[in-house]
C-alpha cells in the first residue's frame, strides 16, 4: 500500500475555473507534474481548448492554463492507494485538501469541473459539507485517464469544451 500525497494547486488569484482530479497517478507523482502519464488526454484537450499544447514544456502549459484563469488541483491531499486507479483509493485514510483556504484566496472561482466521477464523489462527500452555502457551478466531465478507454478522445474533447465557455477573449477555443 502506498500513501499518495497531492501537489499544491496550480492557481492564481484571478482564476475563475477550477479543474479537480481525485489524486495524481503514479506517473504524475514521479514527475511531480499534473497529468504526466503520456496517454492521459488532459494536456491534449487543454492544448485544443486553451493553447496548453503537449509540445510545450510543462511550465509553459501551466502558464497557458493560468492565463485562461483555470486552476488545477485534486480533491485529496493524501490517501492510501495501491497503483494509480481511482477505484483503488481506499476509504480509510482519506484527507481532503483545504478548500476553505483555497476559496478564500481564489474568490473569483465560481465553476468547478471534475476530471471523472471519483473526483466528484470525493468532493461532494468530503468537501461540500464544510463549504456551507457556497454557490459553485459543479460539473463532472469524463475522466481524461487512459483507464477511461471506453470513451474516444473526440468524445472526451467534446464534453470538456464546457470549460471553454466564459474564457477570456484572447484564449484559444
Catalytic residue among 40, 97, 115, 170: 40
Q: Is 97 in the active site? A: no
CA distance 98 to 120: 16
| CA separation, residue 157 to residues 54, 90, 103, 113, 161 (Å) | 15, 30, 27, 14, 6
DSSP string of the chain, one letter each residue: --EEE-PPPB--TT--EEEEESS--HHHHHHTSTT-STT-SHHHHHHHHHS--TTS-HHHHHHHHHHTTEEEEESEEEEE-SSS-GGG--STT-EE--HHHHHHH-TT--EEEEESHHHHHHHHHHTHHHHTT---EEEEE---STT-TTS-HHHHHHHHGGGGTT--TTS--
Catalytic residue list: 40
Amino acid at each position: 500500500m502506498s500513501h499518495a500525497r497531492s501537489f499544491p494547486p496550480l492557481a492564481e488569484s484571478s482564476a475563475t475555473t477550477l479543474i479537480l482530479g481525485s489524486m495524481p497517478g503514479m506517473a504524475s507523482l514521479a514527475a511531480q507534474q499534473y497529468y504526466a502519464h503520456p496517454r492521459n488526454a488532459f494536456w491534449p484537450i487543454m492544448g485544443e481548448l486553451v493553447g496548453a499544447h503537449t509540445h510545450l514544456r510543462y511550465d509553459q502549459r501551466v502558464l497557458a492554463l493560468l492565463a485562461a484563469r483555470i486552476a488545477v488541483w485534486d480533491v485529496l491531499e493524501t490517501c492510501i492507494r495501491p497503483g494509480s486507479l481511482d477505484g483503488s483509493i481506499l476509504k480509510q485514510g482519506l484527507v481532503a485538501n483545504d478548500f476553505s483556504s483555497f476559496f478564500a484566496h481564489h474568490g473569483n472561482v465560481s465553476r468547478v469541473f471534475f476530471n471523472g466521477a471519483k473526483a466528484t464523489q470525493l468532493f461532494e462527500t468530503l468537501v461540500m459539507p464544510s463549504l456551507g452555502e457556497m454557490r459553485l457551478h459543479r460539473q463532472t466531465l469524463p475522466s481524461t485517464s487512459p483507464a477511461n478507454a471506453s470513451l474516444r478522445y473526440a468524445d472526451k474533447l467534446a464534453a470538456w469544451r464546457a470549460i471553454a465557455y466564459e474564457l477570456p477573449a484572447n484564449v484559444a477555443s
